[in-house]
Amino acid sequence: MSEETKTRRGPVVIDIDLPDAESPQDASPVPEPEGRAMQQVTKIAAHKTGWLGRLFWGGVTALVGMMISVAVWDFVDGLLVRNVYLGQFALGLLGLIALVLLIALLRELVALTRLSKIDALRHEVADASIGDSLPAALKVTKKLDSFYISREELRWPRQTLTEHQGDIFDGSDLIDLTERQLMAPLDQMAVREIQIAARNVAAATALIPVAMADVLVALTTNVRMVRRIAEVYGGRAGTLGSWRLLRAVATHLLATGAVSIGDDMIGSVAGGGALSKVSRKFGEGVINGALTARVGLAAMEVCRPMPFNTLKRPGVSGVLKHALAGMFK
């Protein structure tokens, strides 16, 4: 072997023109969480069908109901011809179903009436506060006392209110005393319901990997939360009443832009942004929980028979802090 061949032995480097490899700092940043599930829930709840859509769906509902009714009646009538006893039994079941539907309808009407009564009380309280009239304040205080006469948890606050209202000679002071005695215990119960709902929505968003499943969980949780808040304040909202309240709350939030980031959500959004650096799902869960808390606080204002005056209105950050502390505990 020649000397020239020996000198050529060793590794051979071949230059190939390749694009420069991307470094970690060149990677695109993780998108900030935006509460997609709650954004969609709010839009669904606030969506209003036009008169043409209502006419169409009303006609479809009536037609389907007529078809079911005729089919059930033909079945019962045919069973009566084939066997009198089985036909009478089926006829009795049909009557039972009709009675249950009638009772459910009456309960919905009573629930809507209770909600209308709460609205009327809130307007009366606002008028009495503006006018600063002692007779008007006494009148509305008596109505509120009668409205909550069956609530055992308000027995002592009602007694305290009755004992001290004779010592007050100013209408606004009496309204403030009524709010402190009657609304404070109910506000605490409503805030607990909001914390539970916010914790459930945050956990569902963070843990459920299925697309749109978090939207369904958020929707059902918010409907249940609004219904429970209405029950706390004496509204006893049924199914139709719950949807009516949720639509009113969602419409208010969209009109005021409250489904976006606001001053009372800065701490919550900061927490969601920090968590999104570790897991985007957890960051999204924090934001959805914060938006759920905001929906709940708006529902408090809608369902509360007295506007916030002397008592401090709860904030989103405080509610979410206790909700997430309960989740991680």
Q: Residue 263, class by beta-carbon neighbours within 10 Å (0-12 exposed, 13-18 middle, 19+ buried)?
A: exposed
d(CA 111, CA 102): 14
What is the per-residue pLDDT for 190? 93
Q: Are 91 and 76 in contact (CB under 8 A)?
A: yes
DSSP 210-224: STTHHHHHHHHHHHH
Alpha helices in the chain (DSSP H): 3-8, 36-46, 51-82, 84-131, 134-147, 155-164, 171-178, 184-207, 213-232, 239-256, 266-278, 280-303, 316-328
Residue in the structure block whose two tokens are 């990997």: 209
Percent of the chain predicted with pLDDT > 90: 8
Residue in the structure block whose two tokens are 């709840």: 45
CB atoms within 10 A of CB 268: 28
Is the per-residue pLDDT at 209 higher than 90? no
- Using CA atoms of 139, 140, 145, 151 in order, give the dihedral in degrees to the nearest 10: 160
Evaluate if pTM is beyond 0.85. Answer: no
Is the per-residue pLDDT at 188 higher than 90? yes
Q: Where are the domains of the chain?
A: 60-328
Is the per-residue pLDDT at 307 higher than 50? yes
Confidence band, pLDDT 50/70/90 cuts, at residue 136: confident
What is the per-residue pLDDT for 27? 47
Amino acid, single-letter form, for residue 293: A
Over range 51-79, report the average pLDDT. 85
d(CA 267, CA 270): 5
Is the per-residue pLDDT at 191 higher than 90? yes
Report how far apart, in Å, the C-alpha atoms of 249 and of each of 103, 153, 225, 284 are: 28, 27, 12, 22
The answer for residues whose C-beta is within 8 angstroms of residue 299's C-beta and 6 or more apart is: 225, 226, 229, 230, 245, 246, 249
More confident: 290 or 283: 290
Q: Are 191 and 313 in contact (CB under 8 A)?
A: no
The 10 Å CB-count burial string (b at 16+, else e) for 55-65 is eeeeeeeeeee
Give the lowest-confidence range in 64-73, 85-94, 260-269, 281-290: 260-269
Confidence band, pLDDT 50/70/90 cuts, at residue 205: confident
DSSP 85-119: HHHHHHHHHHHHHHHHHHHHHHHHHHHHHHHHHHH
Is the per-residue pLDDT at 253 higher than 70? no
Residue in the structure block whose two tokens are 């089926």: 90
What is the per-residue pLDDT for 80? 84
The answer for residues whose C-beta is within 8 angstroms of residue 292's C-beta and 6 or more apart is: 38, 194, 197, 198, 201, 202, 218, 221, 222, 225
Over range 121-146, report the average pLDDT. 87
Is the per-residue pLDDT at 241 higher than 60? yes
Over range 301-324, report the average pLDDT. 85
Is the per-residue pLDDT at 100 higher than 50? yes
